[in-house]
Structure 1
Amino acid sequence: MQTLLAVIVIFGLLVFIHEWGHLVFAKRAGILCREFAIGFGPKIFSFTRNETLYTIRLLPLGGFVRMAGEDVELIQIKPGYEVGLTFNDEGLVKEIITNNKSKHPDCTVIQVEHADTEHQLIIRGYKDEEEELVEYKLDRKAMVIKDEVPMQIAPYDRQFASKTVGQRALAIFAGPLMNFVLAVVILTLYALIAGMPVNESVVGEVTEDGAAIDAGLVAGDRITAIDGESVTTWEEMTAIIQAAPNETLSLDVLRGDESFNVSLTTQVREIPDAEPQGVIGVMASTERSFLGSISYGFTQTYEFTRLIIEAIGLLVTGQFSLDALAGPVGIYNYTGEVTAMGILVLFQWAAILSVNLGIVNLLPLPALDGGRLMFIGLEAIRGKPIDPQKEGVVHFIGFALLMLLMLAVTWNDINQLFL
């Protein structure tokens, strides 16, 4: 239950922040956002606010913001349709009822001759009792009601395609960007709570079952040399220790004004798909400062980004096995292991997942934000947009392939459980 709760909170937050980025910048550009969804599949909760339907859906596999004009518009009122109209105080059409008109006895019924809900914002037709053609103007926020479900019309200037290349690119890029921002915030909070590691060869904490405590080391001891090799930074010290698993090392230690030497045998830490490392059971010393914590948030986010990009590069060049990829089941298991290590480790894990989500979404693959940005970039180069239908086919195929990859990775996760 604890793992499940951690997964729901972390992934809910990551998806919410990602989609919120899309939503905010799309609305700033004047795009009508029809729906903000967390999850896919059937709706389990929804409410409408400021033109947008907010939903939580059954399958927790991501989320989306449905922008008007991003896909083929669903509102189609063709000649010959019989519809009912209601009007606002200014005499503009506020509702177009396409069926179940009997539930709206006060509506004006017409047979449609022409309707334009994007550019001219008009509807023309013949009333039942009159043969003359009558034209009505539409309110810019008029609703088309089908099966008692309203959908707001989208004038062309409220549609995704009407915006500049820069506005559209920013609305798409904002999702991954918010994941990087979230990682910075999480890691800044981590540093404020736990403190920032100090890059000095000073013992911050000694574990209860390590070689260091058996050798008499305590918090505050400064390691000045190992086997005669001088060390001043934490990286220098740990590099020597990690390279010597199950070996005896001689440490020169400074405690206050007293200098002394201790010998200890390193323990072995096994690492999957890598050489074992030596450890002695010490942690770095830490310090706390507000500005330093912010700096730590940015630098650690950069480091996580660099490491993940390097891993993707190894995957592309075949130096990294697909078996090492983790799907939903694998991430669930890892989250359970991290949760058992404490809230601070969970903070770091959430930041890594957030950075990973941002990077993966920026890959130039169809159906991902990076693929959509690629099409916008091609439009900027060509000076005209790609045929929307062709782009839609590419994204559909890309989405199908991504789902197949997700299934393959999930199957691998399940197999790993029984190895």
Structure 2
Amino acid sequence: MELLQHAFGLLTGTIVPFLVVLTLIVFIHEMGHYLAGRWCGIGITAFSVGFGPELAGFTDRRGTRWKLSAIPLGGYVKFQGDEDAASTPDYEKFDGLTPEERSRTFLGAALWKRAVTVAAGPIANFILAIAIFSVTFASYGRQIADPVVAEVREASAAAEAGIIPGDLLVAIDGVPIHTFDDVRRYVSVRPEMPIVVTIRRDGTDRDLRMVPQRTELTDQFGNKMEVGVIGIVTTEAAGNFRVVNYTPLEAIGQGVIQSWHIVTGTFDYLSNVVTGRMKADQIGGPIRVAEASGQMASLGVAALLQLAAVLSVSIGLLNLMPVPVLDGGHLMFYAIEALRGRPVGPRTQEIAFRIGMGLILMLTVFAAWNDTFGRIG
């Protein structure tokens, strides 16, 4: 009985939220490809959420097969002239088509149409994130706190630099600071990197140099991560905690800003991993995402949707990487085609796709290792 209860809890608390989040992100991504392809006049033979055997589906009046497949770890849109779900062109079949039939295939479409269709997937992911953040901000507002120091930790970077309670942070490295979250966001991805913090004390601004300390933090679910901290704390009284409400238009603006923060934060983290300032243990796969989905679901629908927004931006960025097989790899080939005046040869593309697939498999294995064996030190 206890085993059944555990299994039921795992299903409803982790697996279902994970599938809801992933299905939403995949559907929107592939819908971007689908709508752009339709707009460009490219025929579409299949729209699938998931890979592998079909579980359920139907064929619409245009001949597109809409289906839900068995492996819920992605999806694809198959265009006319594609050999497989990875949009590999079927050159032999293409050569046997009439000019009119070729114009309806992805391979036979104009270069700009192929580029627009490929780019529309990641763009749809960014639009989804902006929409989620916008609706959240418009519905619930946003809690903010002024960047006023209430307490300085002993032996911290802030203490050594001379920050004292009552100081107002106005900029870091020349970047204006408006909320305490701005401070946390900027500092967290810069462990052991010198920064200049501009504080306002008694109406006078002064610059203080410090180096954020690398610190391991644990969130409310027990997840550990290393971030940069300078050792300052605010309180409800000092920071004037409050909820700011936004009009629909203002909420959209905030949604764009929030999505951009995720983009810049991702690149900051990756650059820190490459330079060795941060560990690569935050790179996770399906198991990590499933765990996070369950944790956010326990906090409510709004938290789960915000996780979906973060993941949607991440997936959009991943797909724009110039790696063959990914959308960014296709766009790279189109850029080369535009410069050369002719497409890259089939053999070259095949070799590149194999290399790209190898890189994706390596990343998948690395993420699975992180998921299974925990943080890598």
- CA offsets, 1:89-108, max 9 Å, x none? xxxxxxxxxxxxxxxxxxxx
- CA offsets, 1:9-56, max 9 Å, x none? 111010000011011111111111111111111111121112211111
- Could you tell me which of 394, 400, 406 is aligned with 2:364? 406
Report whether the alignment pairs 1:352 with 2:310. yes
8 Å CA contact 1:188, 1:294 repeated in 2: yes
- CA offsets, 1:68-113, max 9 Å, x none? 2243439869xxxxxxxxxxxxxxxxxxxxxxxxxxxxxxxxxxxx
Specify the SS of the correspondent of 2:287. Answer: helix
Report whether the alignment pairs 1:227 with 2:158. no
The separation in 2 between residues aligned to 1:415 and 1:32, in whole angstroms, is: 44
CA gap of 1:405–1:163, structure 2 versus 1, over 3 A, is: same
Counterpart position of 2:123? 177
Task: Give the Å deviation of 1:308.
Answer: 1.2
Report whether the alignment pairs 1:272 with 2:225. yes
Task: Give the Å deviation of 1:339.
Answer: 2.1
TM-score by length of 1: 0.64
CA gap of 1:33–1:285, structure 2 versus 1, over 3 A, is: same
CA gap of 1:42–1:281, structure 2 versus 1, over 3 A, is: farther
Counterpart position of 1:3? 14
CA gap of 1:418–1:363, structure 2 versus 1, over 3 A, is: closer
The separation in 2 between residues aligned to 1:69 and 1:338, in whole angstroms, is: 41
8 Å CA contact 1:46, 1:54 repeated in 2: yes
CA gap of 1:236–1:60, structure 2 versus 1, over 3 A, is: closer
The separation in 2 between residues aligned to 1:385 and 1:76, in whole angstroms, is: 18
Report whether the alignment pairs 1:168 with 2:185. no
- What CA RMSD, in Å, does the superposition of the two structures yield over aligned residues? 3.4
The separation in 1 between residues aligned to 2:181 and 2:350, in whole angstroms, is: 54
Q: Supply the AA of the counterpart residue of 1:35.
A: A
Q: How does 1:19-34 map to 2 (within 5 A)?
A: 19-34=30-45
Q: Supply the AA of the counterpart residue of 1:227.
A: P
Task: Give the Å deviation of 1:377.
Answer: 0.6
Counterpart position of 1:44? 55
8 Å CA contact 2:217, 2:227 repeated in 1: no
Counterpart position of 1:195? 141
Q: Which one has the bigger strand percentage?
A: 1
Q: Supply the AA of the counterpart residue of 1:180.
A: F
CA gap of 1:332–1:230, structure 2 versus 1, over 3 A, is: closer
Task: Give the Å deviation of 1:379.
Answer: 0.4
The separation in 2 between residues aligned to 1:350 and 1:75, in whole angstroms, is: 41
Task: Give the Å deviation of 1:343.
Answer: 2.4
8 Å CA contact 1:234, 1:284 repeated in 2: no
Is 356-365 or 287-296 further displaced after alignment?
A: 287-296
Q: Supply the AA of the counterpart residue of 1:273.
A: E
Task: Give the Å deviation of 1:370.
Answer: 0.4
TM-score by length of 2: 0.71
The separation in 1 between residues aligned to 2:313 and 2:294, in whole angstroms, is: 19
CA gap of 1:201–1:306, structure 2 versus 1, over 3 A, is: closer
Task: Give the Å deviation of 1:164.
Answer: 1.5
Counterpart position of 2:286? 328
Counterpart position of 1:130? none
8 Å CA contact 1:269, 1:279 repeated in 2: no
The separation in 1 between residues aligned to 2:167 and 2:233, in whole angstroms, is: 18
Identical residues among aligned pairs (%): 29
Higher Cα Rg, which structure: 1
Specify the SS of the correspondent of 1:160. Answer: coil
Is 316-325 or 395-404 further displaced after alignment?
A: 316-325
CA gap of 1:275–1:32, structure 2 versus 1, over 3 A, is: closer
Report whether the alignment pairs 1:66 with 2:78. yes
8 Å CA contact 1:367, 1:398 repeated in 2: yes
Counterpart position of 2:213? none
Task: Give the Å deviation of 1:117.
Answer: 5.3
Report whether the alignment pairs 1:373 with 2:352. no
- Could you tell me which of 52, 67, 82 is aligned with 1:55? 67
CA gap of 1:229–1:281, structure 2 versus 1, over 3 A, is: closer
CA gap of 1:278–1:349, structure 2 versus 1, over 3 A, is: farther
State the structure with bigger RCO (CA 8 A, min sep 6), 1 or 2: 2
Task: Give the Å deviation of 1:363.
Answer: 0.5
The separation in 2 between residues aligned to 1:190 and 1:14, in whole angstroms, is: 17
Q: Supply the AA of the counterpart residue of 1:364.
A: P
8 Å CA contact 2:132, 2:309 repeated in 1: yes
CA gap of 1:172–1:230, structure 2 versus 1, over 3 A, is: closer
* Structure 2: gaps of 5 or more residues: 1-11, 83-87, 152-162, 171-176, 188-215, 219-223
Counterpart position of 1:416? 374
The separation in 2 between residues aligned to 1:158 and 1:231, in whole angstroms, is: 58
The separation in 2 between residues aligned to 1:365 and 1:34, in whole angstroms, is: 25
* Structure 1: gaps of 5 or more residues: 78-115, 121-139, 141-154, 203-210, 212-224, 244-267
Counterpart position of 1:157? 103
8 Å CA contact 1:31, 1:159 repeated in 2: yes
8 Å CA contact 2:370, 2:376 repeated in 1: no
